Amino acid sequence: MSRIKTLRVRTKLIGGFLIVAAIAAIIGFVGIQSMQRISQMTDRLYENEFVGMRHATEADRQLVAAGRALSNTLLTSTEDEYRSEYFSIDNHFISAKMALDDLARTAQSEEGKRAVEKAREAINAFEKTAKDIVREQPAETLGRLDTTERVFKEMRPLGDEAESLIKRIVYGQQDDALTATEEIKAIYTQAFTLMIGLTAGGALIAIILGLLITRGFTRQLGGEPHEVAQIAAAIAKGNLNNKIVVPRNAKQSIMNAMNQMQDSLRKVVLAVRNSSDHIATGSAEIATGNVDLARRTEDQAANLTETAAAMEQLASTVKSNADVAKQAAHMASAASSAAVQGGEVVNNVVDTMQEINASSRKIVDIISVIDSIAFQTNILALNAAVEAARAGEQGRGFAVVASEVRSLAQKSASAAKDIKNLIDNSVQKVDAGSRLVDEAGESMQGIVTHVKRVTDLINEISAATDEQTSGIGQVNDAVLQLSDVTQQNAALVQESAAASDSLKAQAAKLVEVVNLFDIGRDYIDVTAREVKEAASDANAPAIPATAAAQLPAGKSSKKARSQASLEDDVHTTQNHHDSTTPTPNEGAPGSAQRTHAISNGATRPARRAGASAPATDAATANAARSDAQLKRPDLSNQQSPATKADKEDDWEEF
């Protein structure tokens, strides 16, 4: 029985009709078979019995006619009449034999065949005797009464015997016909009874199957088909406030399933409606934030553009300084080489003065050498002064040294001239010259040391300038990349703003679509009452969604969040159900809640602070924007406890 319940409707219908068709086929088969048997019995009755009776009757009639012809023969008075009646006797006997032959062919039983043979023998004997009497009877005795009586006395027993045998055959044929008729009646009665029984059984089975199938359909539907169609049409039109009455024995019916589906759709529509309100609120917040972010991104892009231009100018200036430092390094290196050479010359002067002490004969040569050295020193001093002038403030000390060197060179030249003029006094003043030369050597050593130090400093400045140039180039590249990224971010922010506007419009459309469903005010009130009862049973007061977001993770906080979210959703749905859907120009649904949330939160003040920050200085504006962005709360993080976690528990509370 359980397997029958699990069969499909198509299988049940096909099975029921097949059973009825099988019963009808059995009835038809029995009727056809019975009709065939009756037809066969009727054919046999006609061919064997009725035709046999006709042949027997024909044989008896021909036999009687032969007897009559015999009587007429005996009563004839002329030869022609005699011959005519005699031939008539012969014809009647031939016809009687032919009828017996036909009767023999229709006889089915051995007894009938033996009776036919006996009748043939009797007719043959009757014919032979009659013909013998007619041939042996003299012509003059024909027509006489005594002759006729004698003939009838001799022929009558033979005729009666033959007639009796034929009548017996006829009676046998009648009995066989009666037996066949009884068999036909029996076959008809049997077929009629069987067909009546099968018809009644088939009708009963068809009624039972119809009742079972109808009962199964009724239980599966749970009501009348037009009621199911009306409820389905109402649900299809968005009416989820239908009162569906489900019978007690139809828990697995379509009507019960539609009732459960309506309840589930109510829950889904309620959840979707609340989610659409949250989405509309969030999309409005995102759109506002994207507008502020786009404006600040544009400001940041402009500042980065200015910074990039300043960095390019700074890089150009540093590069120029690096080139100048390299030139100064080359000049300092040349000055160092000249100073070294000057030191070597001074050393040579010392050696020369020593040689002067040894020999005054070389005074002229020494004077010429001194004159040459003084001339070269003067030139070098002039060059050093020129390079120091080019170096600016950094070459001021070197200029002093160069002036001192020049002064010493002039003194050396003056001394050489004096030596030339006072060659006579050279011997006395050699010692003084030696001392001066020693002082000059020491001064040259100091000059060489200072020149080397200046050269090292200039080389360090050149190296630092190169590093600074490389670093500024990297900073410039980074600023350019940051500017490109900022431009891309600005484009993305614009796209995000467009997407948020589209999301806002889609949320409004979703709210309009959801409003097409009528879930009923009673269902909303019942849902709110169930939520309050669940909250009172849990001994936990209802908390707002903002407070639920601050609770720690756990079962108690999770349950509190779900209860709070459900209460907010129900109140939101009640307010939304009482009011009409606003147009996109009037704002998305839930604007009052959004205004309340923004006024109680830190989102709007932070944005206003960021929007109203003074823009007198670029750095100050960027800092203010950065602070405003840091102070701006994350809408997705604030909304997630009240939307994601709470929505996952809505079904448990329902």
| Number of residues in the chain | 654
How much of the chain exceeds pLDDT 90, in percent?
A: 0
What does the CA dihedral 254, 259, 260, 265 come to, rounded to 10 degrees? 120
pLDDT of amino acid 274 = 79
Q: Is 554 left (phi over 0), alpha (psi -120 to 50) or beta?
A: left
Q: Measuring CA to CA, how many Å separate 509 from each of 254, 272, 493, 496, 569?
A: 32, 12, 24, 19, 19
Sign for the pseudo-dihedral over CA of 582, 585, 586, 587 = positive
Per residue in 159-192, pLDDT (tens digit) is: 667 777 777 766 666 667 677 778 778 877 887 8
Q: Tell me if 266 is assigned to some domain.
A: no
The answer for residues whose C-beta is within 8 angstroms of residue 396's C-beta and 6 or more apart is 388
Residue 559 scores a pLDDT above 60: no
Sequence-distant (≥ 6) Cβ neighbours of residue 331 within 8 angstroms = 387, 390, 391
pLDDT score of 150: 60
- Candidates 399, 383, 381, 406; CA nearest to 454 is 399
Evaluate whether 163 touches 118 at the Cβ level (below 8 Å). Answer: no
Whichever domain contains 321, its CATH number is 1.10.287.950
Residue 461 sits in the same domain as residue 590: no
First-last CA distance in the chain: 37
- The predicted model gives 386-402 an average pLDDT of 75
Taking the C-alpha atoms of residue 108 and residue 232, their distance in angstroms, rounded to an integer, is 77
- DSSP class of residue 582 equals P
Q: pLDDT grade, residue 4 (50/70/90)?
A: low
Which range has the worst mean pLDDT, 11-25, 124-138, 553-567? Answer: 553-567
**Is residue 531 assigned to a domain?**
yes
Q: What is the mean pLDDT of residues 212-226?
A: 73
For 102-136, how does the pLDDT look when each residue is reduced to its tens digit (9 = 90+)? 666 666 666 666 766 777 777 777 777 666 666 65
Judged by DSSP in three states, 518 sits in strand
Q: For residue 246, give the 3-state DSSP assignment.
A: coil
Q: How confident is the model at residue 649 (pLDDT cuts 50, 70, 90)?
A: very low
Same-domain status, 81 and 194: yes
Beta-carbon neighbour count of residue 634 at 10 Å?
9
CA torsion 407-408-411-417 (nearest 10°) is -120
120 part of a folded domain: yes
In terms of domains, do 449 and 561 share one? no
Domain final residue, candidates 190, 221, 252: 221
What pLDDT shows up at residue 422?
66
Q: What is the pLDDT of residues 424-436, one digit of tens each?
A: 565 556 666 777 7
> Comparing 222-236, 261-275, 301-315, 362-376, which segment has the lowest mean pLDDT?
362-376
Are 613 and 553 members of one domain? yes
Is residue 476 domain-shared with residue 540, that is, in the same domain?
A: no
Instruction: Give the residue-averaged pLDDT of 367-385.
Output: 79
The Cβ of residue 189 has, within 10 Å, a number of other Cβ atoms equal to 11
What pLDDT is stored for residue 113 in this prediction?
65
Q: With bands split at pLDDT 50, 70 and 90, how would you rate the model's confidence at 353?
A: low
- What band does 260 get if pLDDT is binned at 50, 70 and 90? confident
Confidence bin at 364 (pLDDT 50/70/90): low
Backbone angles phi, psi at 544, to 5 degrees: -70, 165
Q: Is residue 187 part of a domain?
A: yes
Q: Tokens standing for 629?
A: 């962005």
User: 10 Å Cβ neighbour count for 70?
Assistant: 28
474 shares a domain with 332: yes
Q: Which domain holds residue 606?
A: 518-653
**Distance between CA atoms of residues 140 and 43, nearest Å:** 55
Judge whether 167 lies within some domain. Answer: yes
Q: Give the distance, in angstroms, between the CA of residue 177 and the centroid of all CA atoms in the same chain.
A: 84
Question: Which of 405-409, 561-565, 592-596 reaches the highest mean pLDDT?
Answer: 405-409
User: ∠ at Cα 357 (356, 363), nearest 5°?
Assistant: 20
> Do 475 and 536 reside in the same domain of the chain?
no
pLDDT score, position 529: 63
Q: Is the same domain home to 181 and 56?
A: yes
Q: Which one-letter amino acid corresponds to residue 270?
A: L
Q: Is residue 492 part of a domain?
A: no
Instruction: Decide if 574 contacts 554 (C-beta within 8 A).
Output: no
pLDDT band at 138 (very low <50, low <70, confident <90, very high): low
Cα(577)–Cα(50) distance, rounded to whole angstroms? 97
The pLDDT of residue 226 is above 80 = no
Closest to 246 in 3D by CA, of 266, 234, 264, 262 = 262
Nearest CA among 562, 561, 535 for reference residue 547? 561
DSSP 425: G
Cα separations (Å) of 220 from 235, 263, 300?
A: 19, 19, 69
In angstroms, the Cα distances linking 73 to 126, 161, 365 are: 15, 22, 220
Question: H/E/C letters for each residue in 598-632?
Answer: HHHCCHHHHHHHHHCCCCCCHHHHHHHHHHHHHHC
How distant, in Å, are the alpha carbons of 314, 358, 415, 648 from that of 265? 68, 128, 120, 17
Query: How far apart are alpha carbons 49 and 15 in whole angstroms?
Result: 49
Q: Let me know whether 481 and 524 are in one domain.
A: no
User: Which H/E stretch holds residue 452?
Assistant: helix 426-515
Instruction: Check residues 557 and 334 and name the one with the higher pLDDT.
Output: 334
Lowest mean pLDDT among 138-147, 325-334, 401-410, 514-523: 138-147
The SS3 of residue 214 is: helix
Considering the domain architecture, whether residues 362 and 455 belong to the same structural domain is answered as yes
Tokens 């949320």 locate to 507
Residue 388 forms part of a structural domain = yes
In single-letter form, the type of residue at position 230 comes to: Q
Residues 318 and 447 grouped into a single domain = yes
Report the CATH number that the domain containing residue 32 is assigned in CATH. 1.20.120.1730
State which of 221, 252, 268 marks the end of a domain: 221
Specify the residue for token string 């070459």. 395
pLDDT (mean) for 305-319:
79
Contact between 385 and 399 under an 8 Å Cβ cutoff? The reply is yes
Enter the tokens of residue 106: 């229709």
CB 142 within 8 A of CB 74: yes
74 in Cβ contact with 134 (< 8 Å): yes
In this prediction, residues 372-376 reach a mean pLDDT of 80
Q: Tell me if 264 is assigned to some domain.
A: no
427 and 522 share a domain? no
Among 74-78, 249-253, 534-538, which is the least confidently predicted range? 534-538
Structure tokens at 230: 């009306």
Reduced to 3 states, what is the DSSP secondary structure of residue 290? helix
What mean pLDDT comes out for the span 32-42? 73
CA atoms within 13 A on the CB side of 103: 33
Count of H helices and E strands in the chain? 19, 0
Distance, in Å, from the CA atom of 273 to the CA atom of 571, rounded to the nearest integer, reads 12
Number of structural domains the chain divides into: 3
Beta bridge partners of 239: 518
- State the pLDDT at residue 135: 65
Residue among 222, 221, 258 nearest 240 (CA)? 258
Burial of 63 (0-12, 13-18, 19+ CB in 10 A): buried
